[in-house]
Amino acid sequence: MNGVIAGISYRALLGRRRIWLLILLPLVLIGLSLLLRLLGVTDERTTVTLMQTFAIGTMLPLLGLIAGTGVIAPEIDDGTIIHLLAKPISRPVIAQTKFLVAASMLALFAAVPTFIAAYLLVNLESGIAYGFALGSFIGGIAYAAVFMLLGVLTRHAVTIGIIYALVWEGVVGNFVPGARKFSIQQWAQSIADQLSSSAFFTTEIKLSFAIPALLIVTIGAVFWAGQRLRSFSLTGDE
């Protein structure tokens, strides 16, 4: 962990236009739950649907993509990463710091709004609010690691990330049950299911699979990103 690098990364994420997207997504989630509250639909089933399709299914991968690639990809894109890499700081430490920054942003912009949105609808009933907040917190950490790695690996990180989140987790996961085993969203839902006792919410992936998978993916991605930065070559823009 390096304080200066963390500061630079926070400024890159929070400055300029990126912040608006980071704020807009949670705002829409909270707005939707307020609207549902006004309409008088505050049952558990609607809340679980909202959490599953919107909070974990849409908002979390998008925020993960914006924060995860946002901590490193712009620097690689305009070449300023070279100033960072030229300093006597261990490259794995740079990767770890940037990962921690992205993960903390996701906790703030994904987990907290998820809790608020669920709380607005059903208070603390059946542990839905706690469950989904924890699920999106842990899922967000995994997304941050994976998408940061993508940002180091390729210049088309955002597009590839979208294809993973939309096509693999969304479309393929709907038709091929096996694909759901390898989906961060599903792992996040298994975590959420542990705290929630709601009858409307069931998950297929067992915790004994989800927790090791989350750990391996997160630690593996951060480690690989660090290794990749050690032998990083700056290629020209196309």
Q: Which residues of this chain interact with another protein, rule CB under 8 A?
A: 17-18, 21, 24-25, 28, 32, 35-36, 39, 41, 45-46, 49-50, 53-54, 57-58, 62, 65-66, 69-70, 73-74, 77, 155-160, 162-163, 166-167, 170-171, 238
Closer CB to another protein, residue 69 or residue 218?
Answer: 69
- Angle CA 177–182–185, to nearest 5: 95
Q: Which two tokens stand for residue 201?
A: 């919410």
Closer CB to another protein, residue 11 or residue 206?
Answer: 11
53-102-227-76 Cα dihedral, nearest 10 degrees: 100
CB of 126 to another protein, least distance (A): 19
CB of 22 to another protein, least distance (A): 10
Cβ distance 137 to 130 under 8 Å?
no
Phi then psi for 225, rounded to 5 degrees? -60, -40
CB of 135 to another protein, least distance (A): 17
Q: Which two tokens stand for residue 237?
A: 């823009």
Q: Which two tokens stand for residue 165?
A: 């989140």
Closer CB to another protein, residue 157 or residue 214?
Answer: 157
CB of 97 to another protein, least distance (A): 20
How long, in residues, is the chain? 238
Closer CB to another protein, residue 61 or residue 214?
Answer: 61
